[in-house]
């Protein structure tokens, strides 16, 4: 053998050893199928509890591609490694999880392994769901198994070369999965502990708000530092929060429950979907999430002191006269001081988090795609302005808003953010929850 061949052999043997070690730890046998349990075999109160918990995890958001067939899967999840289609989690015998025992379901949630022993792709956030406690998982199982079964097979995954080979996932699991719920912190309140369990577990907040490493796993060293998700920016939920008003537990609760808080902003993009689910989730659990997330942001700049409103109108008007005109004609009717919408508990633009973020992505996307009405009694919605203005006008407007309502430096790369949002608007597929 030449030296090169020996080296190659060495590498191959080494890789094989790593894979074998991963298999040894991560290999799981099939769990015997069961006869699909009758809906009446589940306790009604448990099913009800499961429904609420499923809203916190928002199973439906990802596992539904056709609203008429909830939970029947088939929704594409774009990842850097290719597209994974979500699975059918209705209790259908052939195509769903009808023959999954509770043990098989709990193993999937805790270990990322299907009933047949096959590892699941981490687009399914089992690295979070593993933190859910036994009672919560049992309740979600009871809820899922009492849904109407739908016969539907998701399309085959379209993964890049090699990533389609599932055994590789054993290595990922070995490296990143820390199984099981965490012990409560006795120094913290019951709400805080429940909140942490939900945030790290079923709610899987880090799935969007924590940046990922090159293997697609959340980077724990940068937990909740904020990250891009499907073209939106999920802002930091820690001391790096760019908010100019404190995120207290009460304000967070209002925001999570209605999609709007008068001191901050309206939930946009994927977060809009989250708040519409949390609006129907158990109130005490949403409060617990708010308590815990507020504690993560306790050292953010705004935590100590709420800033008053800010309006650098003169300076901004002089620097960006065309944008000032656009604002007066298109925006001021709602966002100007004293406008009717401002009397409906809407935050002034200078308090809105998007304008204070490091990048223009959220602000640009909100202007272009608009905002749905918040949850609750009907309220104003923001129209989508993508078709009103040219890219240059939109960029000018975003620059103007940043200059007028913040003291932060101008954004770079606005044109790029607008271009990306335009491309996505062409066909309007629901891409918001891709991981």
Partner 1 sequence: MIGLTVNGVAYQLEAEPDTPLLYVLRNDIGLNGAKFGCGLGQCGACTVLLDDKPVYACLLPIGALQGRKVRTLEGLGKDGKPGPLSQAFEAEQAAQCGYCIAGMIVRAQALLEANNRPTEAELRAHMAPNLCRCGTHMRILRAIRRAAVAMGGGVQNVAEQKP
Q: Which residues bind partner 1 (CB under 8 A)?
A: 322, 325-326, 328-330, 333-334, 340-341, 380-383, 385, 387-389, 393
* 177/349 with CB nearer partner 1: 349
Least distance (Å) from partner 1 to the CB of residue 430? Answer: 12
* 208/323 with CB nearer partner 1: 323
* 328/423 with CB nearer partner 1: 328
Q: Pick from 133, 128, 136: which is nearest to 112 by CA?
A: 128
Least distance (Å) from partner 1 to the CB of residue 264? Answer: 22
**Phi, psi (deg, nearest 5) at residue 4:** -60, -40
| Distance between first and last Cα of the chain | 45
Measured distance CA(364)–CA(420) in Å, rounded: 10
Here the contacts of 347-350 (C-beta below 8 Å, separation 24 or greater) are: 347/261, 347/262, 347/263, 347/264, 347/265, 348/309, 348/405, 349/401, 349/404, 349/405, 350/244, 350/307, 350/309, 350/310, 350/311, 350/405, 350/406
E-assigned strand segments in 175-291: 227-229, 232-234
* 272/359 with CB nearer partner 1: 272
Least distance (Å) from partner 1 to the CB of residue 270? Answer: 19
Scanning 101-189, the segments in alpha helix (DSSP H) are: 102-111, 126-129, 134-145, 168-176
* 30/381 with CB nearer partner 1: 381
* 217/430 with CB nearer partner 1: 430
* 244/326 with CB nearer partner 1: 326
* 200/396 with CB nearer partner 1: 396
| Dihedral angle computed from the Cα positions of residues 167, 170, 171 and 174, in that order, rounded to the nearest 10 degrees | -170
Measured distance CA(278)–CA(288) in Å, rounded: 12
* 329/419 with CB nearer partner 1: 329
Q: Are the C-beta atoms of residues 227 and 212 closer than 8 Å to each other?
A: yes
Cβ neighbours of residue 218 under 8 Å, at least 6 residues apart?
127, 206, 207, 210, 211, 212
Least distance (Å) from partner 1 to the CB of residue 363? Answer: 18
Least distance (Å) from partner 1 to the CB of residue 249? Answer: 33
Least distance (Å) from partner 1 to the CB of residue 341? Answer: 7
Tokens of residue 99, six digits: 């023959």
DSSP 382: B
Measured distance CA(186)–CA(208) in Å, rounded: 28
Least distance (Å) from partner 1 to the CB of residue 324? Answer: 8
* 137/382 with CB nearer partner 1: 382
Q: Are the C-beta atoms of residues 259 and 377 closer than 8 Å to each other?
A: no
Measured distance CA(239)–CA(247) in Å, rounded: 11
Helix, strand, coil shares of the chain as percentages rounded to 5? 45, 5, 45
Measured distance CA(328)–CA(333) in Å, rounded: 8
């Amino acid at each position: 053998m030449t030296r090169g061949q020996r080296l190659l052999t060495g590498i191959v043997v080494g890789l094989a050893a790593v894979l074998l070690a991963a298999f040894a730890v991560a290999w799981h046998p099939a769990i015997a199928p069961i006869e699909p349990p009758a809906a009446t075999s589940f306790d009604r109160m448990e099913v009800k509890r499961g429904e609420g918990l499923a809203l916190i995890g928002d199973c439906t958001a990802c596992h539904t591609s056709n609203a008429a067939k909830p939970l029947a899967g088939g929704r594409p999840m774009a990842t850097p490694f290719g597209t994974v289609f979500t699975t059918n989690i209705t209790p259908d015998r052939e195509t769903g999880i009808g023959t999954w025992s509770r043990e098989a379901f709990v193993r999937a949630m805790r270990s990322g392994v299907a009933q047949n022993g096959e590892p699941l792709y981490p687009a399914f956030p089992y690295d979070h769901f593993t933190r859910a406690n036994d009672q919560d998982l049992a309740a979600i199982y009871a809820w899922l198994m009492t849904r109407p079964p739908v016969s539907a097979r998701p399309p085959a995954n379209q993964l890049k070369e090699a990533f389609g080979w599932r055994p590789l996932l054993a290595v990922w699991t070995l490296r990143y999965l820390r199984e099981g719920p965490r012990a409560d912190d006795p120094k913290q309140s019951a709400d805080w502990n429940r909140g942490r369990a939900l945030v790290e577990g079923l709610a899987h907040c880090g799935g969007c708000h924590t940046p990922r490493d090159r293997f697609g796993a959340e980077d724990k060293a940068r937990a909740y530092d904020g990250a891009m998700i499907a073209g939106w920016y999920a802002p930091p939920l820690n001391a790096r929060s760019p908010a100019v008003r404190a995120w207290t537990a009460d304000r967070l609760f209002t925001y999570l429950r209605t999609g709007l808080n008068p001191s901050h902003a309206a939930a946009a993009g994927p977060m809009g979907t989250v708040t519409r689910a949390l609006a129907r989730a158990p109130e005490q659990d949403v409060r617990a999430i708010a308590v815990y997330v507020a504690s993560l942001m306790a050292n953010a700049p705004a935590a100590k002191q709420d800033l008053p409103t800010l309006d650098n109108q003169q300076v901004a008007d002089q620097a960006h006269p065309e944008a000032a005109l656009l604002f007066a004609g298109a925006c001021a009717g709602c966002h100007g001081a004293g406008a009717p919408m401002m009397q409906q508990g809407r935050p002034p633009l200078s308090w809105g988090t998007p304008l204070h973020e490091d990048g223009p992505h959220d602000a640009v996307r909100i202007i272009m795609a608009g905002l749905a009405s918040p949850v609750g009694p009907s309220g104003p919605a923001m129209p989508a302005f993508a078709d009103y203005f040219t890219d240059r006008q939109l960029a000018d407007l975003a620059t103007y808003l940043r200059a007028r309502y913040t003291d932060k430096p101008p954004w770079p790369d606005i044109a790029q953010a607008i271009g990306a949002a335009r491309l996505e608007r062409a066909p309007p597929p629901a891409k918001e929850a891709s991981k």
